Amino acid sequence: MSQSRVAVVTGAARGIGAATAARLAADGLAVAVLDLEEAAAKGTADAIVAAGGRAVAVGADVADAEAAQAAVDRLASELGAPTVLVNNAGITRDNLLFRMTEADWDAVMGVHLRGSFLMSRAAQKHMVDAGWGRIVNLSSTSALGKRGQANYAAAKAGLQGFTKSLAFELGRFGITVNCIAPGFVVSDMTRATAERLSVPWDDYLAQRISEIPVGRAGEPADIAHAVSCFVDERSGFVSGQVLYVSGGPRT
């Protein structure tokens, strides 16, 4: 990968985002580690720098148009024009429909859909100018529907449509747009789900693994590897695709 490439990974303070940022840095890209609080992102950025890579921590609310644009402008001046964007930032506000509030709905849509739209809109100019770009959006197997996740499932399904639409629009500029839909991945988010359900983590983990054909849970590095494949220079003829990384056929 060219040393001149600059990537932005949102929601990169921990979990899948942090693993993705580290993987892209190992691939030779400079990485903007973006999260809601810059202090939270600093640990990921510092680890990349300590390993010999180039990274900066950036704090921004991706659902805020001015903040998203300012973040892209800042990293363009500090690292260089971004030509890789990984829209990973996400939150959950799970509840059954009759208990779900408008705030729960709007918050999830804001981060996942609005945030991906705003970051893509801000970054695409740099990609068009370069005649080359990669956008990777993080969906989920929950896009297929899941009890208690009407907001999250709708947002993640929406990202798949968003991906395919951008692939049509941006392809002629040398920009590919793809989507990864992780299955069960060990993370702070899945641990929080077990806690919300009042199920001991070990029991919850065992139950989820029992449903996965390959017989193990996903790790953030599994998703980071898939992102790396889409970002690779040699993947220029792959666009508009949704890749389920779930240890089986959409588990």
Amino acid at 86: V
Q: Which of 105, 152, 184, 230 is catalytic?
A: 152
Residues making up the chain, counted from first to last: 251
What are the DSSP E strand ranges found in the chain? 6-10, 30-35, 55-59, 84-87, 133-138, 175-182, 242-245
In DSSP terms, which residues pair with 30 in a beta bridge? Answer: 6
244 assigned to active site:
no
Q: Read off φ and ψ for residue 236, nearest 5 degrees.
A: -70, -10
Query: Where does residue 65 rank: exposed (0-12), middle (13-18), buried (19+ CB within 10 A)?
Result: middle
* Contact (Cβ atoms closer than 8 angstroms) between residue 141 and residue 244: yes
In DSSP terms, which residues pair with 56 in a beta bridge? Answer: 32
DSSP string spanning 50-110?
Answer: HTT--EEEEE--TTSHHHHHHHHHHHHHHT----EEEE-------B-GGG--HHHHHHHHI
Query: Where does residue 56 rank: exposed (0-12), middle (13-18), buried (19+ CB within 10 A)?
Result: buried
* Residues with active-site annotation: 152
